[in-house]
């Protein structure tokens, strides 16, 4: 998590994990399960970063989301549902905008794109608790609201879960496609991954007819756009190519170049890690 500062609600939860008197003798994931299992399986990248004195797990456990060929690099997992690749993430379109507490979404590899979970970390984590309560009721299991862990997490998150919010399902999901706020002087273009590209207007050319071009033509167009300093439009084109060729390492490498040109080292590093994981298979 070197490229990302943990927002306050989750930072308080991690501090709670570190304060466990047995944390020194247990694996960090075990401590997380003890104190925060109602939030799902917290990302190992986050949990192990909070325990630097412990040995780091293999890369495949720290960034397992990148093992999915179609995962958008703008997603930073917070926790996992435990099956079907479903995870709950911060969505970071443009780190250079300095958003301290990004929105949260959920994402699954067989679906069309991320869906909204919360406008910030507190609302997203509270949404996870709503989903957990709904799941327990649906399966006729004990109500987690009666547990000490629920009360502890609500206090650390700093927001009471809105159990009247019918938008959140038992899987802690909604049907609301995520769209970012677009600051003045910026533009947002949607892409097949459902995430899109948000950047300064001068980094775009006029919207192209991306869906009518074949992947080879789009790749050539992306390289031309990069040469012209239009890295945002280049990234839009490359995301269209990746939708057709999700496992193509050359496409991912070109996306990395576009992220570098946009001044987004976090995204570029995630693209690099995706390439490294695929080469190690």
Say whether both 196 and 65 belong to one domain: no
Q: Is residue 245 part of a domain?
A: yes
Q: Is residue 254 part of a domain?
A: yes
Say whether both 84 and 205 belong to one domain: no
Say whether both 150 and 194 belong to one domain: no
pLDDT confidence of residue 104: 98
| pLDDT class of 134 with cuts at 50, 70, 90 | very high
φ/ψ bin of 47: left (φ > 0), alpha (ψ from -120 to 50), beta (otherwise): alpha
Burial class (CB in 10 A: 0-12, 13-18, 19+), 88: buried
DSSP one-letter code for 6: P
Tens digit of each residue's pLDDT (9 = 90 or more) over 225-254: 999 999 999 999 999 999 999 999 999 999
Tens digit of each residue's pLDDT (9 = 90 or more) over 177-194: 999 999 999 999 999 999
Say whether both 29 and 131 belong to one domain: yes
φ/ψ bin of 141: left (φ > 0), alpha (ψ from -120 to 50), beta (otherwise): beta
CA atoms of 52 and 28, how far apart (whole Å): 10
pLDDT at 151 over 60: yes
CA atoms of 102 and 90, how far apart (whole Å): 6
Q: Which residue segment(s) compose the domain that 133 sits in?
A: 8-157
CA atoms of 240 and 194, how far apart (whole Å): 11
Say whether both 81 and 218 belong to one domain: no
Tokens of 193: 């991954």
Q: Is residue 165 part of a domain?
A: no
Say whether both 22 and 149 belong to one domain: yes
pLDDT at 2 over 70: no
Q: Of 157, 176, 201, which marks where a domain is finished? A: 157
Overall average pLDDT of the 140-156 stretch: 96
CA atoms of 56 and 67, how far apart (whole Å): 18
Angle, helices 121-138 vs 148-157, to 10°: value is 160
Say whether both 16 and 129 belong to one domain: yes
Say whether both 104 and 59 belong to one domain: yes
Residue showing tokens 């996870």: 128
Q: Of 106, 138, 157, which marks where a domain is finished? A: 157
Say whether both 32 and 133 belong to one domain: yes
Q: What is the CATH number of the domain that holds 208?
A: 1.25.40
Q: Of 157, 175, 208, which marks where a domain is finished? A: 157
Q: Is residue 141 part of a domain?
A: yes
Tens digit of each residue's pLDDT (9 = 90 or more) over 39-59: 999 999 999 999 999 998 988
Supply the mean pLDDT for the chain: 94
Tens digit of each residue's pLDDT (9 = 90 or more) over 78-132: 999 977 789 999 999 999 999 999 999 999 998 889 999 999 999 999 999 999 9
Task: List strand residue ranges (DSSP E) for the chain, in order.
Answer: 41-42, 75-80, 87-91, 104-107, 115-118, 186-189, 197-200
| pLDDT class of 1 with cuts at 50, 70, 90 | low
pLDDT at 212 over 80: no
Q: Is residue 262 part of a domain?
A: yes
Q: Determine the straight-line distance between the first and last CA of the chain, rounded to whole angstroms.
A: 24
pTM: 0.94
pLDDT confidence of residue 59: 85
CA atoms of 267 and 94, how far apart (whole Å): 9
CA atoms of 155 and 252, how far apart (whole Å): 41
Overall average pLDDT of the 154-169 stretch: 96
The total number of structural domains that make up the chain? 2
């Amino acid at each position: 998590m070197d490229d990302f500062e943990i927002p306050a609600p989750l930072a308080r939860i991690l501090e709670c994990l570190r304060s466990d008197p047995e944390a020194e003798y247990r694996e960090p994931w075990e401590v997380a399960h003890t104190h925060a299992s109602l939030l799902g399986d917290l990302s190992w990248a986050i949990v192990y970063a909070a325990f630097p004195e412990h040995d780091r797990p293999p890369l495949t456990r720290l960034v397992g989301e990148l093992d999915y060929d179609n995962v958008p690099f703008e997603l930073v997992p917070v926790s996992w549902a435990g099956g079907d690749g479903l995870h709950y993430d911060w969505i970071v379109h443009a780190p250079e905008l300095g958003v301290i507490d990004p929105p949260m979404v959920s994402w699954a590899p067989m679906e069309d794109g991320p869906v909204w979970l919360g406008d910030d970390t507190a609302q997203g984590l509270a949404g996870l608790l709503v989903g957990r309560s709904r799941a327990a009721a649906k399966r006729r299991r004990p109500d987690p609201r009666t547990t000490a862990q629920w009360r502890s997490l609500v206090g650390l998150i700093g927001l009471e879960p809105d159990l009247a919010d019918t938008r959140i399902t038992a899987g802690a999901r909604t049907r609301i496609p995520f769209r970012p706020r677009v600051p003045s002087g910026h533009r947002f273009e949607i892409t097949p991954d459902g995430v899109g590209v948000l950047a300064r207007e001068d980094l775009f050319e006029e919207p192209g007819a991306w869906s009518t071009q074949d992947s080879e033509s789009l790749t050539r167009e992306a390289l031309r756009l990069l040469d012209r300093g239009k890295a945002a439009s280049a990234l839009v084109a490359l995301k269209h190519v990746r939708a057709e060729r999700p496992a193509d390492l050359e496409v991912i490498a070109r996306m990395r170049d576009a992220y570098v040109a946009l001044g987004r080292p976090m995204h570029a590093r995630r693209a690099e890690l995706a390439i490294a994981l695929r080469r190690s298979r």
